[in-house]
Structure 1
Amino acid sequence: MQSWYHIIPKNTGLSTYVWIIFCLLPFFFIFRSSSMFEIAFGIFMTLLFFLSYRLSFISNSRMVYLWVSIEMAISLVMTFLFGYIYFALFLAFFIGNIKHLGGFLSLYIVHLMTTIAAVVMTFVTEVDDIFPHLPFIVITVIGVILLPFTVRYRNKQHKLEGELQDANERISQLMVLEERERIARDLHDTLGQKLSMIGLKSDLAGKLIPVKPEKAVEEVQDIRQTARTALKEVREMVSDMRGTKLEDELIRVQQIIEAAEMSFEYEGSPKLENTPLLVENVLSMCLKEAVTNIVKHSDASHCKVTITQTSTEILVVVEDNGRGLPDNIEPFKGNGMQGMRERLEFVNGSMEIYSSHGTTLRLHVPNIIKQSNKEESV
């Protein structure tokens, strides 16, 4: 069982204020009694119910059934004596939190049968008092029928979401380890051979200096050239590590969308022609942030990404069919929007957002063509 719950149930589809009314309402039924003994007895039963209700959440599995039995008995007594049936909703919520299927079904059947029997008997004996509350009693019986399954389904959903989050974190850790191994391999392949060659040529140059100075000078020049080549390769490798290709990010985005059980569609080519790596990296980060927002906040079932490269700009459009932006939230505040806009401004880009039957995000970046290697060498 869960370690602690407030007396007021959460995530049941009913407002907290409704549950507060259910907590206070028994006193209204109790104080209608004319006898002080009945009033005192009703208050005692109410306090005992909430005490048992709390203990049922923090007790071990064996004691749980004892507290639930006490709560059922109190609920029946309150129904017979005062016509107060709404404790049955608290019990229905608690039964939905029982993980063991056998215990869940047993308590569900017993609670449902006793609640219906108590309602029928009270309705027969006190029809004049109960009849004005008949719509609320019907709603309560429906809640007793449906609420345990609703709570049980939501608990399973939250558990699966937690397992999915743990799996994603594990995947992220494995990706980091894989990236470290790749970096180690690249460093070994890039520098290992070059440094070995530099060591051998240095030994050879040291031996040739006394006998063949000219040959030693050639070896030193070869060492200098090898060192420059190694430095260039290291710089290129570091530059590739710092940037993320839009094509690679699109694959990860599709995996995230499909893992969230959403359909994914994209148009255009993610391979940008002669675009600086910095610009492509900014677009990749913004695309990742936009898709993360869709998965977390949109409740969408479909996501579409369109990438268009013209002679003047690169346009990335991210669309979803979710609930759109709430009216009380400014478009460019929260959910990473401010960070996306700052990244785009760094490369003279801009963004637009529209919210109607979903959300559409448009990312604009000027198409600054990267110079060719030939032009750079001139």
Structure 2
Amino acid sequence: MQKWSQLFYKNTGLNPYVWLVFFILPFYYISQYSKLWTLVTGIVIILVFFVCYLLAFITRGWQVYMWIGLLIAISITMTIAYDYAYFSLFLAFFIGNIKNKAGFITLYSINLAASFLTINYGFIIQSSRLLSQFPFVFISLMASILLPVSTYNKNKREQLEGQLENANKRLDELVKMEERQRIARDLHDTLGQKLSLIGLKTDLAKRLLRTNPEQAEIELNDLRQTASTALKEVREMVTTMRGTQLVDELFRAEQILKAASIEFNLDGNPKLHDTSQLNENVLGMCLKEAVTNVVKHSQATICTIRLKETLSDNIVLVHDNGIGMEQGSNKDRRGTGILGMKERLEFVNGCLDIRSGADMDGTELIIQVPKLVRKPIKEE
């Protein structure tokens, strides 16, 4: 059940004891009238004002404007009939808490105009009570001008701060999600290749165990070395997230292709020029994924890697003479691996092109990343 204190804003901008004084003040002011009917009527009007004020807080939509209109009418009545001009303070505070800009401006203007006109009307007819309270009436009028604007701006600022905090939280969640996806891709690319190589060497050692034990022992030693390398790479990736050079990835690609009995051909200079560490790392991870797919899915006997350069890009072509993507039944080539490559390349403004079909032998992947932009040297 909602507590009565929760019907009002938690931060009123004024001390609650000040509001208590404002609540008692109109009753004290009315008690100075000697006529019974004037006293009773004034008390009833005051009670109606505070009831309407409470209803304005707990209602929503158009009903709020209805209650505020009634409150303004009561404020005008109390100023003209009883020379009490301080209800405008309650209205000024309430209007400042209205979130709708058009509604705030409209009610602010109406309340300010009503307060100004009724107070001036009292001065024109030379009301003795109102004239005797001129300093306090002037302060009340100034508060009616400044308090709504101050309260509205404060609430607006708090709302923007809340939105900014929510946006920052959302941004942190997106950064964490992107980091998880990046780590997942790194683990997939790093462990996927090494585990494939371990599987191939295990099958080979198993076949050679009876026919050629010495060669089987060599393969087992390579298997142990591969496992150690995989463990080392995972540790380095988790602890330092270091980049890898394309030369290292080409050496690993040659190892896994030879282990799978696939002929390896390299065409081009593996030393890249005008390329950032990030772009080279992306090229290396994409090359690793492409070679892993060749071993797992292509059924190829030859894999050729060509390295090309243009004025603006570095290009790596991975071509195999296998069954091609359209004829393959495995979905991994079009799934996590290819998607991960595209996501990595999009991050560095690179691109991936896949060519496979009846018009060519096997599959060719064209991996392209931009070079660093070099500023021209000015001639002196």
The TM-score bracket by the shorter chain reads 0.5 to 0.7
Tell me, in whole angstroms, the C-alpha distance in 2 between the residues paired with 1:107 and 1:160: 23
The aligned amino acid for 2:190 is: T
Residue aligning to 1:77 = 77
**Is 1:201 aligned with 2:201?**
yes
Tell me, in whole angstroms, the C-alpha distance in 2 between the residues paired with 1:199 and 1:8: 69
CA 60–7 in structure 1, closer or farther in 2 if over 3 Å, else same? closer
Residue aligning to 1:54 = 54
Residue aligning to 1:166 = 166
Tell me, in whole angstroms, the C-alpha distance in 2 between the residues paired with 1:8 and 1:132: 34
Does the 8 Å contact 2:83/2:130 carry over to 1?
yes
**Is 1:144 aligned with 2:119?**
no
Residue aligning to 2:377 = none
Residue aligning to 1:212 = 212
The aligned amino acid for 1:236 is: E
Does the 8 Å contact 2:201/2:219 carry over to 1?
yes
Q: Deviations over 1:21-66 (max 9, x none)?
A: 1111111101111122222222221221111112123323322222
Q: Deviations over 1:160-186 (max 9, x none)?
A: 112211211111111011111111111
**Is 1:87 aligned with 2:87?**
yes
Q: How does 1:1-378 map to 2 (within 5 A)?
A: 13-125=13-125, 127-240=127-240
Tell me, in whole angstroms, the C-alpha distance in 2 between the residues paired with 1:39 and 1:13: 32
Q: Secondary structure at the match of 2:133?
A: helix
The aligned amino acid for 1:189 is: D
CA 224–153 in structure 1, closer or farther in 2 if over 3 Å, else same? same
Could you tell me how far 1:9 is from its partner in structure 2?
6.5
Q: Secondary structure at the match of 1:218?
A: helix
* Rg larger for: 2
CA 134–12 in structure 1, closer or farther in 2 if over 3 Å, else same? farther
Residue aligning to 2:314 = none
Q: Secondary structure at the match of 1:28?
A: helix
Aligned residues: 238
The aligned amino acid for 1:115 is: S
* TM superposition score normalised by structure 1: 0.58
Q: Deviations over 1:334-372 (max 9, x none)?
A: xxxxxxxxxxxxxxxxxxxxxxxxxxxxxxxxxxxxxxx
* TM superposition score normalised by structure 2: 0.58
CA 31–126 in structure 1, closer or farther in 2 if over 3 Å, else same? farther
CA 6–24 in structure 1, closer or farther in 2 if over 3 Å, else same? farther
- What percent of counterpart residues are identical? 48
Q: Secondary structure at the match of 1:60?
A: coil
Does the 8 Å contact 1:8/1:19 carry over to 2?
no
CA 222–7 in structure 1, closer or farther in 2 if over 3 Å, else same? closer
Tell me, in whole angstroms, the C-alpha distance in 2 between the residues paired with 1:146 and 1:44: 30
After superposition, the CA RMSD in angstroms is 2.3
